[in-house]
Structure 1
Amino acid sequence: MWQLLQMQSCQLMRPRLTPIRSNGYFINLLKNKPSDAVKRYVSNVKNCKENEIKGIFQFISPWKLCTGISLGLGTRLLLNDGAVLCKAKAPSRIIQRRPNVNEDSGKFDWSKFFEYLKPHKWLLAAAVASAMAVAFLNIYIPAMLGVIVNILADMRSNPNVDFIDEIKYPALKMISLYIGQAIFTFFYIHLLAQVGERVAAQMKQDLFVSILQQDMAFFDQERTGELVNRITVDVQDFKSSFKQTISGGLRAITQVVGSAVSLLVISPHLTGMTLICVPTVVIGGTFIGSLLRKLSREVQAQIEKATLVAEEAISNMRTVRAFAGEENEAKMFADECDTAANLSMELGLGVGLFQAGTNLFLNGMVLATMFLGGHLMSTGQMSAGDVMAFLVNAQTIQRSVAQISLLFGAVIKGVSAGGRVFEYINKEPKMDTSGTKVIKYHEFHGDIEFKDVSFAYPTRPEAIVLNNFNLKIPAGKTVAIVGSSGNGKSTIAALLERFYDVDKGSVTIDGVDIREMDCHWLRGRAIGLISQEPVLFATTVKENIRYGKPDASDAEVYQAAQTANADEFIRSFPAGYDTLVGERGMSLSGGQKQRIAIARAVLKNPPVMVLDEATSALDATSEKVVQTALETASKGRTVLVIAHRLSTVMSADLIVVLSKGKIVEMGTHEQLKKQKGHYWNLIKQQDQEEDNRSL
């Protein structure tokens, strides 16, 4: 019973609550005094929105009325960053929301949309014309049916009239109308498919390019699953909605207008009586549409959460398998999917109610038409053919409006999805990449200087990583930066690569501020980066090495592999350089992946080499092989080594000891050992750790 009430409570609070871990003290308090529990937590929250607090008390209030139910409430509440959160007993983890999400985020950009349509305007015009032609033919068909009905009615009163002669012309006209309808239907569907696919392809490409151009801070706070979801699902939803709206919506609207005109021509009095309630439907539909549009955004956000859970589990399958977490991941994914399904069902319920109400109204119009038409027929004001034509036109309006109501949900979904796509297409990087300076290869020396650099990561602006940091790296020298974790070593490498811009100070190469340099040249030609965890693409060994220089010849690839001490083991594979490495290079060992990454960096022949913990994840044997490859690849270059293992930096020209973002010691290995300071303590600490491991 307790678990059942927990799950029911979470379902009721779902629009305002998010899964998170709970707190035993608070659960006990909530069981006994739910209102006190909520008041206590709400009073301690800073920046908590007023509507969120109201939402909590609106939920708690009905339960307070019954002591037994309030005792079994079981909803686990915690407050995290001002948001009220709920979690059932099932395992879960926090799904991080994208910052700065508000009601205006993802607003549909109509001007951008028309820019995409502009190159295909003639195809779109032809598709629209074909759709309207189908609509006009559908409007004209009831009139011909009325003529045929009148002929059939006259045959009974004039039996001597030749039926074939009378029916021949109207029948041929009806056949031609049906043939024309089929031809134009083919054209508009075919043309709209071309326009929709071309626009969707261009949107997808622009979205991907825009994502690629974003700052590293953007990727620090965005999740891979969300970005992939926008490229795939959102673009697909928008494309489907676009094609349905143009084909079905335009045709339906034209038929409604045309059929309404036909009704007025046939019988103005009957038309006025049947269409008097149409404005009510339009106003009601507009109001319901605003509600359904908001619900549609919630549905897409929840679907995105489910995608993120799946993406994390699949991309970290080794960790999931190592901790036997398959069942927990499946449960979390099922919970997110169930929540998305419930929201989608609510959306379907709203669309269904709107469509049902519209159809009920239109069917009532048909019944009224039959009653009033029969009355006008009995008084001689309308013929049987006129009544038939009026009924068919009324049914055409009914079908068209029903189709519009069906498209209503698709339009809402498409506009919402399109808005999310345009949000990222229009997103401008904050980092200024307009620099154009390059240093000619024969003039490149490689003198690097960090001058009065202060920096904090954009996602953690309050945590200063480097403060007034100064360091000179002479050309052709190897400078190693060592220190315990979290002191800013990798940050220095990231700033040199210009993954981030410094908050204060400057980073220069040969006296030129890297902010004035061409970023593509800086990263693609001037600096070679080898990181602790090199990521290989799911392609061949040769293509992974060639990624460092896409236009490199096979001979250059082989030479780079030899320099990185990788040629021998690559050729030992059955397929040699054409061996597929698997996703993220999973089919290779750590040392093999690292040497391929070294070959990739060496291939572009950079004057500056950055080694960021390049051997820290390797065993002793692999470390020696990789270290030899690094020393070979580093000859004649300016080298910045970020290291945790001090055994890899003993031969460096200069060793810099970093602590809390500041340089505390500088010198060679022997000089620093004699000082018996921070560096000496680091050596003792690592020696002790190795002794413990050997035991």
Structure 2
Amino acid sequence: MHYMHSICSIHHTAIRHSNLCGKYARQNFEVWQIVTKLSVRIRKKHKSVGSFASPSTIEESKFEKSKVDKYPELIRLVKLYKPEKRQLMVSLTALSVSTSVTMCVPFGIGKVMDMASTNDVIQLPYVLGGLGCVFLAGSIANMFRVHTSNMIGERITNRLRQDTFQSILKQDMSFFDASKTGELINRLSADTTLVGTLLSDNMSQGFRSVGQAVGSVSMLFVTCPKLGLIMLTTVPPLAFAAVSYGRFVKSLTSNVQKKLGDATASAEDCFTNVSVVKWFAKEKYEIQKYESKLSDALALSRKRSKASAAFFGGVDLSVKISTLAVLGYGGHMVANGLLTTGELTSFMMYTIYVGFSFAGLSQFYSNLTNGIGASTRLFELKHRKPKISALTGTKNLPHPLQGRIQFHDICFRYPTRPNSQIFVNLNLDVHPNESVALVGPSGCGKSTIVALLARFYELDNDSCSGKITLDGVDIATLPIDELRGIIGTVPQEPPLFACSIRDNIAYGHQQTPTFEEIIQAAKEANAHDFIMSFQQGYDTLVSERGQSLSGGQKQRLAIARALIKNPKILILDEATSALDQESEKFVQVTLHRVKQGRTVILIAHRHSTIQSADRIAVISKQTIVEEGSYQELAANAQSLFRRIVVNHQSVI
């Protein structure tokens, strides 16, 4: 269930930010459910190798980096401004006006002081009035700068979240097999926020600091070139320190984000399985585990904090020492009549501006390195090409569709477990309108067969070869959305979204179904009566993952969701396993009726389900070893199927 929980968690985190992927998700949701149990198995067996976020992350996955490495990181960040060109011009214009006004302040104050010292009171009111008008213009410009830069950042963050959510949702199953939900959510929330903040307020403050630094240094030389040279002696060491600091902080920030991703994944896993935590009284253990992961992040943050303190303290000390030197030499020049009091005052204010500007640039550089680290992770994810794309496919579905499925010499290994062979030369022929039950011991590959049918994995290399055809057409040549659009599935443990019952059932439809269609699907699944027993009926809200419903109620909603799709191929992963005997009788009759005109694959657990199948395929030793009806296999004393039934072994 972890895979579907991953998708559900990501979906509900980003749904208010993104509507781009609704159609894609709706077309594929029903089919994604068939690998929920399969994904859990993959994760358990793959833990010893490593996982997506601990210790490895997306950076350590085998991404296609051709596009990622093509442009420098900063260039790719600047490209995010492209849709905001007009607003960016407004913001830069307002920034220029605001910065120019700021540069006038020391000059104006110096002139006022010189006028006061020479008793030039006639022109003083005019100068003060002019400065007041200039200051008012600067304040208005600053207001526009703040507003436009903030809105630019919000829109960029929104687009980043949309693109990231879309990219995650379009990845192939091997990506999710090796990924942690918490890490993906961290990308979707924390990393996008870091980049958005960088490109809005931080970038605006950075440009402002650059403008003030250039303007202040220029005015220093205009006011007194000798004193200006003294101030410039601090620039080279500060620049070198800034570059060194930036590289160090960038690396630390990236590691902090990884550790926070681990902590988020741990919390998500705990909340997802909170009932298990409660049953085994493991609250203290989970708290300690979460605190331990936070402590790892805190230790790295402490290093980053010390580096920041040393850097900014050094910058501040350098500026103040330069200020003292300027004040001493400037006072000597005033005493000798080489500089007026107003000019020295203006120079000292420009010196302070230079100090603030360098401090602002240092902070901006720190934020820039943090944002670049976050953007690198986002761009890697954005440009990762899924091995199986929804846009692939050169042929259309056969018409009219009969529903014959053939597996030809299937050899398969999971990408996350390349040393474990699942199938060797597996062959299976499922005829149109036939129901076939897949039977075998746990881990034999029953769920893998339907995962391959849905093209969650490709058969395109030496360890993964063979061909699957639908009415004689290789499914590798069919568009994925069309292929999955004709497949409906009812999983053993159905995940539900935290929305209304009506929306949960409608989710299985390719378009937007009518309310009458929703009711009809619910009635066929024997769900209508219990739905109407709720006070709000079909508008009753389902809690996250359907925890407010019983197992049988969730199962029947999943059946309704599959039936409203009217699929040609139906996959039933023991669809009645969570039902009581009375409900099972009704649903078995319903499933028997809806099988008509459909090709059905049953992942069988109960004898009643196995007996209802037209044919049984027994999987063992990486292939299908027996085929036949229930009566034929049960009557054969040498058959593996009979031994399983007689010994009451699990056929999960």
Unaligned runs of 5+ in 2: 1-46
Counterpart of 1:190 (choices 132, 147, 158) is 147
- Counterpart in 1 of 2:26? none
Distance 1:167 1:216 in 2: 75
Spell out, residue by residue over 1:565-604, the C-alpha distance to the aligned partner (whole angstroms, 9 max, x if none): 2112212222111111211111111111111111111111
* Identical pairs, percent: 36
Alignment of 1:678 with 2:635, yes or no, is no
Distance 1:561 1:569 in 2: 10
Counterpart of 2:619 (choices 658, 665, 669) is 658
How do 1:61-460 residues align onto structure 2 when only pairs under 5 Å count? 95=54, 97-98=56-57, 101=60, 109-155=73-119, 163=121, 165-433=122-390, 434-439=392-397, 443-460=400-417
**Contact between 2:59 and 2:380, CA under 8 Å: does it hold in 1?**
no
**Contact between 2:403 and 2:568, CA under 8 Å: does it hold in 1?**
yes
Spell out, residue by residue over 1:217-248, the C-alpha distance to the aligned partner (whole angstroms, 9 max, x if none): 11111011111111111111111122233221
Distance 2:330 2:75 in 1: 48
Spell out, residue by residue over 1:261-300, the C-alpha distance to the aligned partner (whole angstroms, 9 max, x if none): 1111111111112212311111121112111111111111
**Contact between 1:450 and 1:506, CA under 8 Å: does it hold in 2?**
yes
**Contact between 1:594 and 1:626, CA under 8 Å: does it hold in 2?**
no
Larger radius of gyration: 1
- Counterpart AA for 1:298: N
More displaced stretch, 336-345 vs 484-493: 336-345
**Contact between 1:548 and 1:603, CA under 8 Å: does it hold in 2?**
yes
More displaced stretch, 580-589 vs 621-630: 621-630
Are the structure 2 counterparts of residues 103 and 494 from structure 1 closer, same or farther at C-alpha, using a change threshold of 3 Å? closer
- Counterpart in 1 of 2:597? 636
Q: TM-score, normalised by structure 1?
A: 0.82
Spell out, residue by residue over 1:384-414, the C-alpha distance to the aligned partner (whole angstroms, 9 max, x if none): 1111111111111111111222333322222
- Counterpart AA for 2:279: A
More displaced stretch, 107-116 vs 499-508: 107-116
Q: C-alpha displacement at 1:471, in angstroms? A: 0.7
Distance 1:82 1:420 in 2: 19
**Contact between 2:497 and 2:545, CA under 8 Å: does it hold in 1?**
yes
Are the structure 2 counterparts of residues 689 and 249 from structure 1 closer, same or farther at C-alpha, using a change threshold of 3 Å? closer
More displaced stretch, 206-215 vs 498-507: 498-507
Instruction: State the Cα RMSD in Å.
Output: 2.3
Distance 2:79 2:406 in 1: 46
Distance 1:275 1:112 in 2: 33
Residue aligned with 2:647, SS: helix
Q: TM-score, normalised by structure 2?
A: 0.87
Q: C-alpha displacement at 1:679, in angstroms? A: 0.9
Residue aligned with 1:649, SS: helix
Distance 2:185 2:371 in 1: 17
Distance 1:507 1:141 in 2: 76
Q: C-alpha displacement at 1:613, in angstroms? A: 3.2
Are the structure 2 counterparts of residues 283 and 689 from structure 1 closer, same or farther at C-alpha, using a change threshold of 3 Å? closer
Alignment of 1:563 with 2:524, yes or no, is yes
**Contact between 2:433 and 2:595, CA under 8 Å: does it hold in 1?**
no
Alignment of 1:585 with 2:549, yes or no, is no
Distance 1:192 1:589 in 2: 50
Distance 1:99 1:467 in 2: 31
- Counterpart in 1 of 2:508? 548
More displaced stretch, 146-155 vs 567-576: 567-576
**Contact between 1:564 and 1:633, CA under 8 Å: does it hold in 2?**
no
Residue aligned with 1:539, SS: coil
Q: C-alpha displacement at 1:435, in angstroms? A: 0.6
Are the structure 2 counterparts of residues 652 and 103 from structure 1 closer, same or farther at C-alpha, using a change threshold of 3 Å? closer
Q: C-alpha displacement at 1:338, in angstroms? A: 2.4
**Contact between 1:540 and 1:577, CA under 8 Å: does it hold in 2?**
yes
Unaligned runs of 5+ in 1: 1-78, 84-93, 156-160, 691-695
Distance 2:480 2:442 in 1: 28
- The higher-RCO structure (CA 8 Å, 6+ apart) is 2
Are the structure 2 counterparts of residues 548 and 82 from structure 1 closer, same or farther at C-alpha, using a change threshold of 3 Å? closer
Distance 1:114 1:398 in 2: 27
Distance 1:230 1:265 in 2: 49
Residue aligned with 2:80, SS: helix
**Contact between 2:506 and 2:564, CA under 8 Å: does it hold in 1?**
yes
- Counterpart in 2 of 1:19? none
**Contact between 2:59 and 2:377, CA under 8 Å: does it hold in 1?**
no
Are the structure 2 counterparts of residues 375 and 201 from structure 1 closer, same or farther at C-alpha, using a change threshold of 3 Å? same
Q: C-alpha displacement at 1:191, in angstroms? A: 0.7
More displaced stretch, 327-336 vs 184-193: 327-336
- Counterpart in 2 of 1:493? 450
